Structures are given as structure tokens and as C-alpha cells.
Amino acid sequence: MVDVMLLPATSPELKARCIEIRKTVFVQEQGYVHLDEDNQPEDAGALHFLLADSANIDAGFMGTARLSARPEHTYILSRIALLPSSRGNGNGAKLIQALETWVFQQPGFHIVQLEAQEGTYGFYEKLGYTRQTPEPYIKDRKPHLLMMKDLWAQRTE
């Protein structure tokens, strides 16, 4: 188990690292053809994050995700991706939890919504996300479910 650090990708260089990871995972590994890098307004308006091993930042970034603010207290979480070598040790859960902590620190925001792709529903359910669509729908040629978590309702302290 590693201690992770969430780093806002505020410079063009760091944003480029996010896109590199997204291309490795979504395009090369999963075969998606369209990414929002081609859809600049949505991607440019989002906040981008990188995940690193806080004890070994020089080893490189482990993963990425982005958040986009929406009305009604909500952030949309998307482009959640860990490089294959960083998966399966709780790092995905730590990435989501670190992003939730970030959202909860933003005044007025307490809801996280995401579109989970087929095969990951159980991952998000373990983290407290609930299904908002009864059946999967097709997005980018793959089944997805809309899921959400109210951080206020599920707070433990």
C-alpha cells in the first residue's frame, strides 16, 4: 500500500501528462476512438488531476482524473484512469477518495456524479456510489451507467 498524493494539473506540462495517461488507458488499452481532447471547450473548462506515490514522486504519475463543476452542488468526475502497473492495490479507491475530499472542500459542493463504464460498476458501488439509470446506456459505443454520491449524506464524521 502506498500513500498517494493528488496534484492539480495546473500547468500545460502537467495537463499533457494527464492526456498521455488518458491516451495510454482509453485509446491504446480500451480502444476508445473519441476523447474530449478533441472537444476542447469541455476539457479546457475542467480541472485536471494527477495521482502520485507521495514517497516516490520521481517514479512518475500513477493516474489521472478530471472534475467539472455543474449547477446544484455537483462536480462531474470523468477520465478516471490508472496506468496498468498502478492498479489493484487500492490506488483507484484512493484516487476517488482524494477527489471527493477536494470536492467537499469547495464551498457549496457535495455531490459527485460520474458515468461508469461497464465492468466498473462494482468498483464505484464499493465506494458508495448509487446507480441513477436503471439500465446501462451506450456512450462512445460502450455501456455506461450514471452513478452519484452525495458526500454530505454519506459523511462519516
Ligand X SMILES: CC(C)(COP(=O)(O)OP(=O)(O)OC[C@H]1O[C@@H](n2cnc3c(N)ncnc32)[C@H](O)[C@@H]1OP(=O)(O)O)[C@@H](O)C(=O)NCCC(=O)NCCS
Per-residue binder mask for ligand X (CB under 6 A), 36-75, x = binder: ----------------------------------------
Q: What own/partner pairs with CB < 8 Å and gap ≥ 24 does 88-91 have? A: 89/1, 89/2, 90/1, 91/2, 91/4, 91/51, 91/62, 91/63
Residues 6+ away with beta carbon under 8 Å from 42: 36, 68
Q: Residues touching ligand X: how many (CB under 6 A)?
A: 18
Contact 67, 76 (CB under 8 A): yes
By CB under 6 A, residue 122 contacts ligand X: yes
As measured in angstroms, the least distance from the Cβ of 108 to ligand X is: 26
As measured in angstroms, the least distance from the Cβ of 81 to ligand X is: 4
Q: Which residues pair with 52 in a beta bridge?
A: 5
Contact 130, 147 (CB under 8 A): yes
By CB under 6 A, residue 25 contacts ligand X: yes
**Contacting ligand X (CB under 6 A), which of 123, 128, 131, 136?**
123
Kindly list the residues in this chain that would bind ligand X in the complex (CB under 6 A).
Answer: 25, 80-82, 87-93, 116-117, 119-120, 122-123, 126
